[in-house]
């Protein structure tokens, strides 16, 4: 295994057995491969290449795939490589960033040269990070390492989740110049801060969340102005026990999408401007508003969701679903869900979560699944909505 090693195209193209749409499998190796987290776009070189994580050679490393030829190139050679779910790409130049061995490092995507940016302080662990829209700064959070004082098992997805939330670890949001320089703490508090996401169009804006059980955190979504360090709540809870999560930026960099659940069990899609105005929320198709009816309803779960705007939403249906699902805006609410394709993902660990997201042009959906035992990366074509079969209630 070595940096720069080329792997010949190993994917295949097939017709989905349930919907007939074209699906392209990008990887096919007897080890797990995965795309980046759904809030971290992995495309670069004008969309011709995509970053992937893969466990080849009994080590996790970063790879790049040429979307034209299907050829893969190994970019790192780390025996103790991190999870590459959290890699973020610089939108202004061919460079990406990840955490490894207590450091935040930059990688040149053409030469594969690594460059240290920042040493994480002792006693803290890095979480999600993203690059500002102008490519000038990298932003993320670090969280006090409270594992030593928590009597929980570790090593599997969400182990110690509730205990870590209750411990109220000290968290800091930091920003550092991508060309090198002083790292600055822009916000800190005793809440578990995670999912730092930058606006794709406004370099001074980031969102972050108070992590933990959605119905128990004080407020899930927050925004912060990097120029002023001003911080504010977005989409404050309306009633006790209401749960909001899986927030993400629309492509316009102005609005955030999310979904939620009310204490009575009804579920909804929502989007809102970063300044906490112009909230739009609608019940998922199949839901019955308890204010108008006490008839219980069934619904198709959304799981992780993503969209480039409000018009078409993709979701993985959660761990009980076998399909990537689509919902379409009709002017008043959402039609659907419709089945895009079968994924049969296990959701067993984070890198095997389906995490579907649209390509920047909206013509395909990128996702990870392990229907044959190993995680692989797929691109599914998005046809006309009416062509797809209904998923049911």
Give the model's pLDDT for residue 163.
Answer: 87
Give the model's pLDDT for residue 279.
Answer: 98
Give the model's pLDDT for residue 149.
Answer: 77
Strands 267-273 and 255-261: antiparallel
Give the model's pLDDT for residue 45.
Answer: 97
* 56 three-class SS: helix
Please tell me the distance from the alpha carbon of residue 215 to that of residue 2, in angstroms, as a whole number: 46
Give the model's pLDDT for residue 152.
Answer: 58
Partners of residue 208 on adjacent β-strands: 222
Strands 357-358 and 255-261: unpaired
CA 98 to chain centre: 15
Residue 144 to residues 100, 149, 208, 210, 259: CA-CA distances in angstroms?
A: 17, 11, 17, 14, 28
Give the model's pLDDT for residue 295.
Answer: 36
For the whole model, what pTM was predicted? Answer: 0.94
pLDDT averages per 10-residue partition of the chain, 393 residues: 89 96 97 96 97 94 97 93 90 97 96 97 95 98 87 60 89 97 97 97 98 95 97 96 96 97 92 98 70 40 90 88 94 94 89 94 96 95 96 66
The residue among 87, 82, 88, 30 whose CA lies nearest residue 60 is 82
Contacts of 384 (CB under 8 A, 6+ apart): none
Please tell me the distance from the alpha carbon of residue 380 to that of residue 15, in angstroms, as a whole number: 10
Give the model's pLDDT for residue 287.
Answer: 55
Please tell me the distance from the alpha carbon of residue 129 to that of residue 65, in angstroms, as a whole number: 22
Helix, strand and coil content of the chain, in percent to the nearest 5, comes to: 5, 40, 55
Contacts of 1 (CB under 8 A, 6+ apart): 56, 57, 59, 61, 74, 77
Give the model's pLDDT for residue 147.
Answer: 79
């Amino acid at each position: 295994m070595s940096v720069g090693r080329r792997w010949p195209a190993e994917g295949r193209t097939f017709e989905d057995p349930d919907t007939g749409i074209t699906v392209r499998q990008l990887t096919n190796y007897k080890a797990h491969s995965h795309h980046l987290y759904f809030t971290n776009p992995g495309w670069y070189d004008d969309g011709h290449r995509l970053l992937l994580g893969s466990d080849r050679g009994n080590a996790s490393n970063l790879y790049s795939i040429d979307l034209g030829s299907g050829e893969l190139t190994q970019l790192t050679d780390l025996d103790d490589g991190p999870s590459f779910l959290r890699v973020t790409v610089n939108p202004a130049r061919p460079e990406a960033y990840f955490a490894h061995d207590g450091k935040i490092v930059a990688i040149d995507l053409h030469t594969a040269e690594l460059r240290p940016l920042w040493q994480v302080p002792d006693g803290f662990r890095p979480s999600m990070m993203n690059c500002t829209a102008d490519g000038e700064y990298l932003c993320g959070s670090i969280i006090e390492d409270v594992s030593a004082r928590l009597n929980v098992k570790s090593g599997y997805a969400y182990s110690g989740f509730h205990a870590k939330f209750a411990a109220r670890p000290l968290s800091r949001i930091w920003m550092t110049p991508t060309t090198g320089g002083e790292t600055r703490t822009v916000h800190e508090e005793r809440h578990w801060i995670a999912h730092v996401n930058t606006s794709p169009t406004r370099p001074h804006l980031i969102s972050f969340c108070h992590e933990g059980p959605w119905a128990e955190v004080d407020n899930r979504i927050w925004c912060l102005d990097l120029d002023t360090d001003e911080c504010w709540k977005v989409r404050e809870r309306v009633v006790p026990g209401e749960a909001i999560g899986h927030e993400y930026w629309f492509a316009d960099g102005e609005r955030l999408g999310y979904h939620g659940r009310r204490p009575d069990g009804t579920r909804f899609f929502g989007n809102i401007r970063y300044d906490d105005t112009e909230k739009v929320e609608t019940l998922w198709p199949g839901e019955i508003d308890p204010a108008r009816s006490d008839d219980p309803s069934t619904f198709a779960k959304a799981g992780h969701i993503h969209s480039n705007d409000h018009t078409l939403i993709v979701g993985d249906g959660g761990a009980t679903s076998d399909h990537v699902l689509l919902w379409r805006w009709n002017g008043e609410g959402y039609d659907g869900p419709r089945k895009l394709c079968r994924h049969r993902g296990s959701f067993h660990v984070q890198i095997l979560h389906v995490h579907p997201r649209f390509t920047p042009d909206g013509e395909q959906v990128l996702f990870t699944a392990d229907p044959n035992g190993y995680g692989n990366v797929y691109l599914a074509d998005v046809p006309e909505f009416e062509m797809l079969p209904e998923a049911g209630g």
